[in-house]
């Protein structure tokens, strides 16, 4: 079966339909599993640093715990995406969810900062199993004309889980870390046990993956659309990492209450989630992905640079809504274009490289911008992050193929 052929659309009661888009059952299941995983995993996000400090970890050790998690996800996303091409998406998706659930269970028994670090490293392995495989699965089961909407629904579910998880974790964590970790494990396990058996298999692929890994890598790296998407992702997450790591410090120095700092990030996450579905729908109607990537990244870069020039609440709320909306445009279109640009047999490799660029962008941003901000201040750091993203996007606008060829098996 050619990857761009259209699988049957489920219009039974088990499916759904929004704005004229029939949602196949596999997409609904993928969205549900993605929401459950990120809800459960992000319940741990605000608690693990505090839990590690309670066990005696220093601030440096807390940073290293998070760095280890990010490093594992960065290094393993690409090879595990390749594994999903060979062993199947479902195995990797369920393995990733199982590992994430076990992470919460293991945290119940952690007694030292070193043990927390080792467990969180294990969590990075789970994320690297899940993300490339699930992104590939969505592309495998989506009708070609609806890829933008499919990735809009999928990523909206992801970001809703990311937005809801920390709040729920913090609420339960107020009653004790153990209760929050236990609930996190139960949430993820329910997804594996209830959703896993209901996960339909993707359409069969006529041509099996090559046994020559070098040939697969060469095919991917010669694909201009894939390389451009990877680089656009890296520079976008590099810029986003400047806010993720340093905006709370900037807000504190500007006299912004912590509660508003959290709400500002919540507005960004909400805009990011809510804009993805209509943007995916629009990109399908237009039939082009590249304009959304380029325009989205340029607006995103401008918004990042503007943060350093704003110190009052109203402008910051507006800027962060722009950040969320522009991220929605860029990353929804990137997911759809990557899926369109490669044959099914190496889609996991393409999505693995995409996730590697996400985590790598965050890691490089945290490692380099701290020195810039320490020397020249927050506005300079945000301006540099936004400027690099804008410059890279302008260059990449010439690298994207004007008329990407349909992938062949």
Digit-coded pLDDT (tens) for 259-295 = 787 788 778 888 888 888 898 888 888 888 899 999 9
Give residue 22's pLDDT: 62
Region of 209 please: left (phi>0), alpha (psi -120 to 50) or beta: beta
Give residue 406's pLDDT: 53
Confidence band for 9, pLDDT divided at 50, 70 and 90:
very low
Contacts of residue 113, Cβ cutoff 8 Å, sequence gap at least 6: 52, 55, 56, 57, 61, 65
Digit-coded pLDDT (tens) for 98-149 = 999 999 999 999 999 999 999 989 999 999 999 999 988 998 888 777 788 8
Give residue 182's pLDDT: 95
Which one of 4-8, 45-49, 157-161 scores highest in mean pLDDT?
157-161
Confidence band for 247, pLDDT divided at 50, 70 and 90:
confident
CA 186 to chain CA centroid, nearest Å:
23
Give residue 140's pLDDT: 87
Q: How far apart are CA 93 and CA 188, in angstroms?
A: 12
Q: What is the mean pLDDT of the chain?
A: 84
Give residue 204's pLDDT: 62
Give the pair of three-digit tokens for residue 352. 């693995």
Residue 192 clears pLDDT 90, i.e. is over it: yes
Confidence band for 212, pLDDT divided at 50, 70 and 90:
low
Give the pair of three-digit tokens for residue 407. 């992938």
Digit-coded pLDDT (tens) for 88-99 = 889 999 999 999
Region of 349 please: left (phi>0), alpha (psi -120 to 50) or beta: alpha
Confidence band for 372, pLDDT divided at 50, 70 and 90:
confident
Give residue 8's pLDDT: 37
Give residue 170's pLDDT: 79
Give residue 216's pLDDT: 77
Please give the radius of gyration of the chain, using alpha carbons only, rounded to the nearest integer: 20
Give residue 3's pLDDT: 38
Looking at per-residue pLDDT, the higher value among 269 and 228 belongs to 228
- Structural contact between residues 101 and 188, judged by C-beta atoms closer than 8 angstroms: yes
Digit-coded pLDDT (tens) for 385-394 = 999 999 999 9
Give residue 188's pLDDT: 96
Burial of 128 (0-12, 13-18, 19+ CB in 10 A): buried
Give residue 249's pLDDT: 78
Digit-coded pLDDT (tens) for 46-102 = 788 788 888 998 867 876 787 788 888 888 998 898 888 888 889 999 999 999 999
Q: How far apart are CA 23 and CA 304, in angstroms?
A: 34
Q: How far apart are CA 197 and CA 145, in angstroms?
A: 28
Q: How far apart are CA 152 and CA 324, in angstroms?
A: 14
Confidence band for 14, pLDDT divided at 50, 70 and 90:
very low
Residue 405 clears pLDDT 60, i.e. is over it: no
Confidence band for 164, pLDDT divided at 50, 70 and 90:
confident
Q: Indicate if the alpha-carbon torsion angle 131, 136, 139, 141 is positive or negative.
A: negative
Structural domains of the chain, with CATH: 18-199 (1.20.1250.20), 211-401 (1.20.1250.20)
Nearest to 54 by CA among 165, 168, 173, 212: 173
């Amino acid at each position: 079966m050619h990857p761009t052929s259209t699988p049957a659309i489920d219009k039974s009661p088990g499916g759904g339909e929004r704005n004229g888009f029939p949602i196949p059952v596999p997409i609904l299941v993928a969205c549900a599993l993605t929401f459950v995983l990120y809800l459960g995993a992000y319940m741990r996000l605000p608690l693990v640093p505090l839990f590690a400090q309670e066990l005696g970890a220093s601030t440096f050790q807390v940073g290293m715990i998070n760095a280890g998690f990010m490093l594992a996800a960065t290094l393993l996303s690409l090879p595990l995406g390749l594994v999903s091409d060979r062993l199947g998406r479902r195995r990797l998706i369920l393995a990733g969810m199982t590992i994430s659930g076990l992470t919460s269970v293991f945290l119940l028994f952690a007694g030292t900062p070193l043990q927390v670090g080792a467990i969180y490293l294990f969590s990075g392995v789970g994320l690297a199993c899940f993300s490339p495989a699930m992104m590939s699965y969505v592309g495998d089961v989506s009708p070609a004309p609806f890829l933008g909407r499919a990735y809009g629904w999928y990523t909206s579910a992801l970001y809703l889980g990311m937005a809801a998880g920390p709040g729920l974790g913090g609420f339960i964590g107020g009653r004790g870390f153990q209760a929050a970790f236990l609930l996190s494990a139960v949430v993820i396990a329910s997804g594996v046990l209830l959703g896993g058996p209901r996960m339909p298999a993707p359409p069969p692929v006529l041509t099996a993956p090559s046994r020559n890994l070098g040939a697969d890598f060469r095919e991917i790296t010669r694909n201009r659309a894939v390389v451009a998407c990877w680089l656009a992702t890296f520079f976008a997450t590099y810029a986003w990492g400047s806010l993720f790591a340093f905006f709370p410090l900037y807000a504190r120095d500007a006299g912004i209450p912590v509660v508003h700092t959290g709400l500002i990030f919540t507005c960004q996450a909400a805009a990011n989630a809510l804009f993805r579905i209509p943007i995916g729908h629009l990109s399908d109607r237009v039939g082009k992905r590249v304009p959304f990537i380029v325009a989205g990244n340029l607006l995103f870069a401008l918004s990042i640079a503007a943060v350093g020039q704003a110190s009052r609440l109203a402008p910051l709320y507006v800027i962060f809504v722009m950040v969320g909306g522009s991220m929605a445009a860029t990353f929804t279109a990137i997911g759809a274009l990557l899926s369109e640009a490669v044959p099914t047999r190496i889609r996991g490799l393409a999505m693995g490289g995409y996730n590697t660029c996400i985590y790598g962008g965050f890691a490089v941003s945290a490692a380099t911008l701290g020195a810039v901000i320490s020397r020249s201040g927050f506005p300079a750091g945000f301006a540099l992050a936004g400027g690099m993203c804008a410059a890279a996007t302008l260059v990449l606008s010439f690298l994207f193929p004007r008329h990407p060829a349909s992938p062949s098996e």
